[in-house]
Structure 1
Amino acid sequence: MEFKYIAILLCLILGVFLSLKEWRRSNKARLIWRLAASYLAIVCFALFIFPISYQVKRAERPHELNVLTEGVSKDTINSLKGRIVTTDVRFDQALKVPRLSLLPDLSYFLKSQPDLNHLNIYGYGLPAAQLAELKDYQLNFHPAAQPEGLISGNWNSRLSDAEQLTLQGVYHHSGALPVKLFLQGLGANLDSVTIKTKGEHTFSLKGRPKQSGRAVYQVIALQGKDTLANEPVPVQVQPAAPLKVLMLAAYPDFEYKFLKDWFFEKKYPVIFRSRISKDKYSTDFLNTERSNVNKVTVTLLSKIDVLILDEDELAALSGAELAAINTAVDGGLGLFFRLTGLKASSAIGRSFSRYESPGLKNKSLTIGFPGEERLFHPLPFEQLLFLKPGINDQPLVVENTGKVLVNSRISGMGKVVAALVPATYHWLLNGQAADYSAFWSEIMTHTARKTYLSESWVMEPAKPMARQRLNITVDQSAANKAALVALNGSRLSPLQNPELPFQWQATSWATEEGWNRMSINGKTEFFYVYREKDWKTENQVAKLKVTSTFIKAQEKSRKSLETSVLIEKPVSLWWFFIPFLIAVTFLWYETKLL
């Protein structure tokens, strides 16, 4: 028999004995009080032997692990208590902290340590894939300060030789001295911009590639003689498909003549029709077969990418021809028409508002593309007529004070472009062929009918690095045909998207830095794999944002991750000793003195 049961039995026997003793006592005065005091003394004595306790809830102190990532300071590391680990091999080698442990696989380590339930992340944070594996843990993020440099950069990496390379990004400047950004290609500076004030600044750098094929340009950040950044900008320049051009002139002039010759030199198929009188025309067919173009029909325009005509010729067309033009533009045709005066003589011309500005009288005309610092060489004539863009319009060419000279708007699937630049051929006469080519290449690229590929692909991440997982998505017009995808000669097995049957998805790994080859349905494509040091600031800021967003999304569920335990707290013996003392004192006092 256990001791506690023996003690309880003895207390009960003692209680019975004291009760009988009090009942047999001759003096019955204060009997109830003596019995109560006797029972209280026995109970308190029993509680001396077996003290009671009560349970309280207390939040369990989490078992923490400190995870260090790039960007954490040495002072922060020195102030940390407990175990510190990192998953970055290069970071571990650079720090050389004795108590820092390297964990190649953080998720695997945590599964082997079930007591760990709280992670403190220091530095720039972890990539999204690694964070997804930590969704069941309580996370606390201590972010590093945002680094200085190129924190974002995007550009049209696949373009034709008629297109302009446009790099747009964000630079974070925290120093006192200005920083100059250069877009450099094949040893030549194509564009530059200067950042003078602190903070985040958006920028745009543009340049026109001089060659076809694959090349790696650079965006360089200089502060005085110090190079703060030198990031690769890989581009692929393909020869532009020749545009099919139809030119309709109310009368031939030098602008039409030089433009026609420029199209011919670029091997564009060109049909030029000049009106002699009503229903009589002079026609030229360059790089194309002869055909009947006396009437403008939908069939004729369906074979054309760009229709160029002046406002006088537009006004002379019949109603059926105008209807054919409107139908073709809505179907994707690009329409470029030259405005000649303040008063509109056609319905399309009336849709573009014009106004006169005498401020440029007797001055040469200097023009450029909106948002670009570079301007073309001045044209030797005064320009008093300008366009007033609407809310849905896109200005393409402006005068150096911002007045619009070429304006565009979307019409159905096509575009309508109106221009007030009457004589760009002066650039050719003055030996400035580069300006002429850049001007008309940009205008034609923007205006021409868009071609739609039978298949397209996209890769994530957009800037893949060596040993990084690649997610390739292929969209193709044939939904019932499996996409054939190969990477550097290795055949992949894409899976069809059950909700989008025309979409196929494949995964692989980036193995080689630089240009890599990919084959999609027999067509060779190329993509660039970056080095780990390339666009490093952008990757650091991306980790900061991804980690912060992930932690905030977890805040709602953080309470459910907290645990609590029931703690046994004994009741103080003083609570029993004092009543015991009072009870036995009363019994003694009552017997001796009362």
Structure 2
Amino acid sequence: MLYLLPLLLAVLLTVLALRRPDTRRRGLRVGAGLLAAAGLGLAALPPVTSRPSTAPPATAVLLTAGYSPDTLADLLRRLGPGVPVWRYAPGNVTPNDTPAFRNASAIRAKLPGLRQLHVLGTGVPPTDAPALAGLRVHRHADARPMGFQQSTWNAQPELGQLLTVTGTFTGAKTWEPVWLSLRAAGAARDSVQLPKGMGAFALRFRPRAAGRAVYMLEARQSGRRLAQEPVPVEVQDPEPLRVLLLAAAPSFELRFLKNHLAERQYAVALRTGLSRGLTQTEFLNLPNPPALGSLTPALLRRFDVVVTDAATLAGFSSAETRALQAALNNGTSGLLLLADAPTLPRQLPGGAAFRLQPQPAAAAATPQRLSWPEGPTTVTALVPATLRLAEKLRPLITGPNRQPVAATRRVGLGTVVVSTVAETFPWQLRNQPAIYTAYWSRLLGAARPGQPTPLSVAALNHWPHPNAPLEFRTTGAAAGPLSITPPTGPALALAQRPDALVSEWRTATYWPAVAGWHRAQVGKAQQWVYVYAPRQWRGPGQQQWPLAARQPAGTAASVGPATNLGAPERTAWPRWWGYAVFLLGAGLLWLEEKL
């Protein structure tokens, strides 16, 4: 309705000007009337002009390595005009065609009003991704790049344990098979074929020497090497235990076990019953040997694991049983029982969870196959009985019909292990030391009491690279200074920051300059960390950076029209323009009438 008022006023003034008898200056009267009407219209409804917006855009496109021009063109067509396009270029070379960011923090500084960011290509490094927190990031990856996408392994295996390397791989030609191999000491130790050129894999190898080593994961297709990635490990010598062997009578089983543990530098004490009231004792690698008359708290404090048979445990007095129960509750000792009797003794701590199931006579006299995770594939032994599964039991080794023949349960802070395997020394007689070592390492490792670590240092980054921050965490109330020794050059001392939640934690940031082994040391605790070369293990980083940015993974299919993409600014004319034009027109009408 407001648009009609100036028009009606203009018609009225024109009609009045034309009806006047005096025809002189009629054109001036008509023009002045229209000018006055136009002035009132401009004052009531000032016109609006549009001009390009100078406000920072709310949506932008970031190009990273490996992006597709076709994807960029399709995205810009859907987002509309006015969307800025930037390139992530952390190196020294600056592209000429597109403005570039050196790091992710510069994105927020250059585009303060940014709300949505479309990332094309492989993405930003995980260390830069936290700078994008708070943005709605849409990821546009055309295809997963070729190579090892993810992999896991135990970086500190014990000597004699099986090292398993698992992960996923994507080949260039999915219609051709790919051979993956794990190489150590210049030779392939295990290999697997991916028939479709991609998928999950698992490779295994048992290290034969302690120390630091760098194995290699290799992928080949049609005889051509597609990818190669390092697998750094630090093979640990098993920490020698202090083992107390108690036998009711001489046996080959404990004699072979005693010699085996002594060869591995374990501290061993053996008490063997010869007749009623007569025992024989032996000590190996144990200075200042104690008296082995009866089990006392003082005696149990000197040993980590007690290995005994059913007859010896059944002959414990009430005081010895209480001492063993207390050592288990305090977590100072573990118990390994060789169940060589039809029933378990009532003195067994936590014995209510263990139940024996005798095997038929024919099965008990025939060697049965044994298996456990990452154990040897061909293991057989006599199994007179199995253990009945219970809620509190954790199977360690399984035998016939996948029934446990060795299991463990927690008792207080300690562990009780029960094994029903009758004889393992034949493995030594058949020259199978690897099987013998793996079997007893699993049992003794399960019975080993947990040792507190008053001082430790650990790296928090799984895939460190040069010129990227590497976080370290030290544990200990008096951790002391943290020093880093690179492959070349002097050691560096790092400043540590106290943790806000855990008073015993300290964190420090280190920027490695070169690839290779780096040693982190605080006090007597040390940790070796391998820094990968710039082009190594890039696949895991491409999977981790969206999580580091704390945003849901977006896809191109979910992208719609952008909002607030630098829309043009609309500005209204000042109203005084209308008043000035009205006064000019009204003044001309008044002046013409006076003439």
Contact 2:290 2:299 in 1 (8 A): no
% identical aligned pairs: 26
Alignment of 1:193-204 (within 5 A): 201=200, 204=202
Partner of 2:65: 70
Alignment of 1:428-447 (within 5 A): 428-447=428-447
Partner of 1:510: 512
Q: Summarize deviations over 1:159-217 as a string: whole Å, max 9, x none.
A: 4436543444455689355555444332455555555579864x554443211221112
Task: Kindly provide the amino acid, as one letter, of the partner of residue 337 in structure 2.
Answer: F
2:540 aligned to which of 513, 534, 538: 538
For residues 564 and 78 of structure 1, what CA distance do their matches in structure 2 show? 20
Partner of 1:303: 302
Task: Kindly provide the amino acid, as one letter, of the partner of residue 394 in structure 1.
Answer: R
1:215 aligned to which of 188, 213, 235: 213
Structure 2 counterpart SS, 1:295 = coil
Question: Offset of 1:287 from its aligned partner?
Answer: 1.9
For residues 567 and 16 of structure 2, what CA distance do their matches in structure 1 show? 47
Question: Offset of 1:468 from its aligned partner?
Answer: 1.0
Partner of 1:269: 267
Task: Kindly provide the amino acid, as one letter, of the partner of residue 312 in structure 2.
Answer: E
Question: Offset of 1:298 from its aligned partner?
Answer: 1.6
For residues 69 and 50 of structure 2, what CA distance do their matches in structure 1 show? 38
Q: 1:110 to 1:160 in 2, by over 3 A?
A: closer
Question: Offset of 1:248 from its aligned partner?
Answer: 0.8
Partner of 1:121: 119
For residues 410 and 194 of structure 1, what CA distance do their matches in structure 2 show? 41
Q: 1:135 to 1:503 in 2, by over 3 A?
A: closer
For residues 225 and 403 of structure 2, what CA distance do their matches in structure 1 show? 38
Q: 1:403 to 1:534 in 2, by over 3 A?
A: farther
Q: Summarize deviations over 1:458-501 as a string: whole Å, max 9, x none.
A: 223122111111111111143xx643434441222212234433
Alignment partner of 1:86 is 2:87: yes
For residues 127 and 448 of structure 2, what CA distance do their matches in structure 1 show? 42
Contact 1:486 1:520 in 2 (8 A): no
Partner of 1:468: 468
Alignment of 1:350-499 (within 5 A): 350-358=352-360, 360=363, 363-370=366-373, 374-379=376-381, 382-399=382-399, 402-478=402-478, 482-488=480-486, 489-499=491-501
Q: 1:271 to 1:218 in 2, by over 3 A?
A: same
Contact 1:70 1:91 in 2 (8 A): no
Alignment partner of 1:314 is 2:313: yes
For residues 213 and 137 of structure 1, what CA distance do their matches in structure 2 show? 45
Q: 1:170 to 1:114 in 2, by over 3 A?
A: closer
Contact 1:216 1:234 in 2 (8 A): yes
Contact 1:124 1:541 in 2 (8 A): no
Deviates more, 1:438-447 or 1:83-92: 83-92
Question: Offset of 1:156 from its aligned partner?
Answer: 2.6
CA RMSD of the aligned region, Å?
4.4
Partner of 1:329: 328
Contact 2:240 2:265 in 1 (8 A): yes
Q: 1:477 to 1:308 in 2, by over 3 A?
A: farther
Contact 1:248 1:310 in 2 (8 A): yes
For residues 229 and 341 of structure 1, what CA distance do their matches in structure 2 show? 56
Question: Offset of 1:406 from its aligned partner?
Answer: 1.5
Q: 1:112 to 1:148 in 2, by over 3 A?
A: closer
Structure 1 counterpart SS, 2:368 = coil
Q: 1:250 to 1:194 in 2, by over 3 A?
A: farther
Q: 1:540 to 1:400 in 2, by over 3 A?
A: farther
Alignment of 1:238-317 (within 5 A): 238-288=236-286, 289-317=288-316
Structure 1 counterpart SS, 2:551 = helix
Partner of 2:154: 156
For residues 455 and 469 of structure 2, what CA distance do their matches in structure 1 show? 23
Question: Offset of 1:76 from its aligned partner?
Answer: 2.3
Question: Offset of 1:67 from its aligned partner?
Answer: 1.5
Partner of 2:582: none
TM-score normalised over the length of structure 2 = 0.76
Question: Offset of 1:249 from its aligned partner?
Answer: 0.9
Alignment of 1:92-171 (within 5 A): 99-105=97-103, 107-108=105-106, 111-112=109-110, 119-135=117-133, 139-147=137-145, 149-161=147-159, 163-170=161-168
Structure 1 counterpart SS, 2:150 = strand
Task: Kindly provide the amino acid, as one letter, of the partner of residue 439 in structure 1.
Answer: Y
Structure 2 counterpart SS, 1:158 = coil
Question: Offset of 1:339 from its aligned partner?
Answer: 1.1
Q: 1:117 to 1:405 in 2, by over 3 A?
A: closer
Q: 1:452 to 1:229 in 2, by over 3 A?
A: farther
Question: Offset of 1:230 from its aligned partner?
Answer: 2.8
Q: 1:493 to 1:449 in 2, by over 3 A?
A: same
Contact 1:485 1:494 in 2 (8 A): no
Question: Offset of 1:357 from its aligned partner?
Answer: 4.9
Question: Offset of 1:252 from its aligned partner?
Answer: 1.6
Contact 2:455 2:476 in 1 (8 A): yes
Question: Offset of 1:154 from its aligned partner?
Answer: 2.6
Q: 1:118 to 1:437 in 2, by over 3 A?
A: closer
For residues 396 and 499 of structure 1, what CA distance do their matches in structure 2 show? 37
Question: Offset of 1:254 from its aligned partner?
Answer: 0.8
Contact 2:176 2:197 in 1 (8 A): no
Contact 2:310 2:345 in 1 (8 A): yes
Query: Higher RCO, 1 or 2 (CA under 8 Å, sep at least 6)?
Result: 2
Structure 1 counterpart SS, 2:416 = strand
For residues 157 and 327 of structure 1, what CA distance do their matches in structure 2 show? 35
Question: Offset of 1:440 from its aligned partner?
Answer: 1.7
Q: 1:542 to 1:408 in 2, by over 3 A?
A: same
Partner of 2:551: 549
Structure 2 counterpart SS, 1:538 = helix
Q: 1:183 to 1:255 in 2, by over 3 A?
A: farther
Question: Offset of 1:275 from its aligned partner?
Answer: 2.2
For residues 384 and 222 of structure 2, what CA distance do their matches in structure 1 show? 43
Contact 1:124 1:543 in 2 (8 A): no
TM-score normalised over the length of structure 1 = 0.76
For residues 85 and 12 of structure 2, what CA distance do their matches in structure 1 show? 63
Q: 1:246 to 1:59 in 2, by over 3 A?
A: farther
For residues 158 and 80 of structure 1, what CA distance do their matches in structure 2 show? 46
For residues 509 and 467 of structure 2, what CA distance do their matches in structure 1 show? 13
Q: 1:260 to 1:371 in 2, by over 3 A?
A: closer
For residues 131 and 216 of structure 2, what CA distance do their matches in structure 1 show? 36
Question: Offset of 1:561 from its aligned partner?
Answer: 7.6
For residues 561 and 499 of structure 1, what CA distance do their matches in structure 2 show? 41
Q: 1:91 to 1:139 in 2, by over 3 A?
A: farther
Contact 1:370 1:398 in 2 (8 A): no
For residues 280 and 93 of structure 2, what CA distance do their matches in structure 1 show? 77
Contact 1:181 1:221 in 2 (8 A): yes
Contact 2:384 2:420 in 1 (8 A): no
Structure 2 counterpart SS, 1:528 = strand
